[in-house]
Amino acid sequence: MSKLPLYSSALVADTPHAKTMHPRIRPMVSTGIIVGPAMTVNVAIGDNLSIHEAIYDAAPGQILVINGHQFEDCAYIGSMLVLSAKAMGFLAIIIDGYARDLQELQEEIGFPVYALGTNPKGPVRQTRGEINVPIVCGDVTVNPGDIVFADEDGIVVIDAAYLDELSSHIVKKETYEIERRELLNKIIKQELPKNSIYPAWFKKKNNIL
């Protein structure tokens, strides 16, 4: 796959075909915009054996997306697993479950992790789940190879088949926003009157010529 565009989650979320994960999954550690294809894991509840297996079978540049079933009784990942993922070439870990070792993750490892929160209790490692199958994470379906866009605002997923279409939508949106910002800054500087930005429907509603 060619180099992926570093679009923000907010830009992608406003385009057709985008699937936005529930905001309960939030950044524990964020390093800015992360974009990559998903490697998916469906764990056995309370068990992280399949996460270990997935990490050591990674292709560099992937994002590990895990259905942790919102299980609250333990953390599925901690500093050692996260450091292993970083060493194996993953870009980030996203889990609909809990993490631990937050201070190490933030201050020493500096690897992007998105999770529901923290829990100091560890999981068991006995039962295999599923790797590279369709999963549900953050209330959206994620397929292996789907493109994930993650940053401080949240996480958005699209099918890789829509990448070219996505780019055309975002170019239009970025062009509009650039022009709009220029206009707004001119109004702020009092170079143009405020009514310069009134849309047609607003003018009609308020009888503004």
Distance between CA 122 and CA 86 in Å, rounded? Answer: 20
pLDDT > 70 fraction of the chain, expressed in percent and rounded = 99
pLDDT, position 205:
83
- End-to-end Cα distance, the chain: 52
Q: Express each pLDDT in 43-62 by its tens digit.
A: 999 999 999 999 998 889 99
Strands 113-115 and 26-29: antiparallel
Q: Which residues contact 127 (CB under 8 A, 6 or more apart)?
A: 44, 47, 49
pLDDT value at 209 more than 80: no
Q: Express each pLDDT in 118-142 by its tens digit.
A: 999 999 999 999 999 999 999 999 9
pLDDT value at 168 more than 60: yes
Global pTM reads 0.89
User: pLDDT band at 199, cuts 50/70/90?
Assistant: confident
pLDDT value at 202 more than 90: no
pLDDT, position 147:
97
Phi, psi (deg, nearest 5) at residue 138? 60, 35
Q: Which residues contact 162 (CB under 8 A, 6 or more apart)?
A: 16, 17
